[in-house]
Amino acid sequence: MVKAHFDNIRQNILDELDKATEKIVVAVYWFTNQALFQKLMTRVADGLRVELIIHNDYINNRDTGLNFQNFIDNGGEFYFSDTFNPMHNKFCVIDNKVLINGSYNWTYYAEDRNRENILLIKDEQETINSFVTEFERLKSLTEKVEKIRPLTKFEVDEFNLLRARDYLANDIVFQAKATGNKDIVDSAFQIAPENIEVQKTAFDLNLTRRYKLKHSIGSSLQHDNYLVIVPKGAYLPVTKTEIVQTVADNQTSSASTIHFGENIKASQNTKFAEMKISGLPKKPVGEAKMKYHFTIDIYGNLRMEKFSLDTDIRQIINKKITGLLEEEKD
């Protein structure tokens, strides 16, 4: 039995979740709907096994969003997909007997604004089994999450995969793979020049030259310690992040030097930049947090960003570092 629904989709899903007796698995790209979430929480409390995969971006993972940590703490099994393996499905399997599949994300926007659909599929075991198998495959592409760090509003663009510019750039890369025409890859990079993930995809598909770092790049820390942010041997393009915290009570600024080299002492490596941000909130030691976000594109452009996760005060430095690269020959 296959039945299409174009209206009252949320209620149809709620009705089917109510009928579950053993297990529910859900894979949806975006999930913001409180009614659907509370139903999953209820089914967890009822002793059912409930597994959930969503994408790790600001729509899903924020302080004001759904309390997925509570879902985990109460026994739900939770997985984030990421930019390396973005999960864009929207399906749910109930007791390995009922499949809900369609265009519908579990969001208010999908329910109240978009024109969406789901198919409610029963008594089609071969099809349902295929989705069960796919869910297990999707789980294998990520890791089970036990502790969630909510993204801040200042990280909203870091995991945004669905802008038209970025979608087109990715499409061109896969066109190059399908047609064998590597000459068009550079046009994809020009369309979305700041999207390192597009370049990573092209690299993974062997559509670009292979460059790697000859030295590690990192930041000085307290007591002349050295935090490696991008390690020696990393292939371009590369994106690395590190979160650091204040080292004193009521610390309102943070200064560091950026080096390349391998010594555990920062001062023994070559310094090539300084970073300082002020205006940090006065908090006890370790509670005010800052994030380093470093990217190096395939052209050897290093973008170093340090910003407060509390205030978004940030410093950005751009450097050309072709001298720190070596090409790997076939």
Residues 288 and 274 both lie in one domain:
yes
In this structure, the answer to whether residues 255 and 300 fall within a common structural domain is yes
**Within a domain: residue 241?**
yes
Tell me: the pLDDT tens digits for 226-253? 999 999 999 999 999 999 999 999 999 9
Supply the pLDDT for residue 110: 87
What does the pLDDT read at residue 112? 82
The mean per-residue pLDDT over the stretch 216-230 comes to 96
In the predicted model, what is the mean pLDDT of the chain? 93
Residues 27 and 100 in one domain: yes
Beta bridge partners of residue 296, listed in sequence order: 238, 302
- CA separation for the pair 60, 31 (Å, rounded): 6
Q: Provide CB contacts within 8 A for 14, sequence distance 6+.
A: 35, 36, 39
Residue 157 lies in a domain: no
45 and 93 assigned to the same domain:
yes
Look at the chain and report how many structural domains it folds into: 3
- pLDDT value for 194: 84
pLDDT in tens, 87-143: 899 999 999 999 999 999 999 888 887 899 999 999 999 999 999 999 999 999 998
160: pLDDT confidence band, cut at 50, 70 and 90? low
Task: Tell whether 125 is covered by a domain.
Answer: yes
Q: 262-321 pLDDT, tens per residue?
A: 999 999 999 999 999 999 999 999 999 999 999 999 999 999 999 999 998 999 999 999
Across the beta sheet with 270-278, the strand order is 226-230, 217-220, 253-260, 270-278
**Predicted confidence (pLDDT) per residue in 61-97, tens digit:** 988 889 999 999 999 999 999 877 788 999 999 999 9
CA distance linking residue 129 with residue 240, whole number of Å: 38
- What domain range is 178 assigned to? 164-208
Is 301 within the bounds of a domain?
yes
Same-domain status, 142 and 199 = no
What is the spatial distance between Cα 113 and Cα 173, in angstroms, rounded to a whole number?
Answer: 32
Is residue 158 situated within a structural domain?
no
Q: What is the pLDDT of residue 77?
A: 97
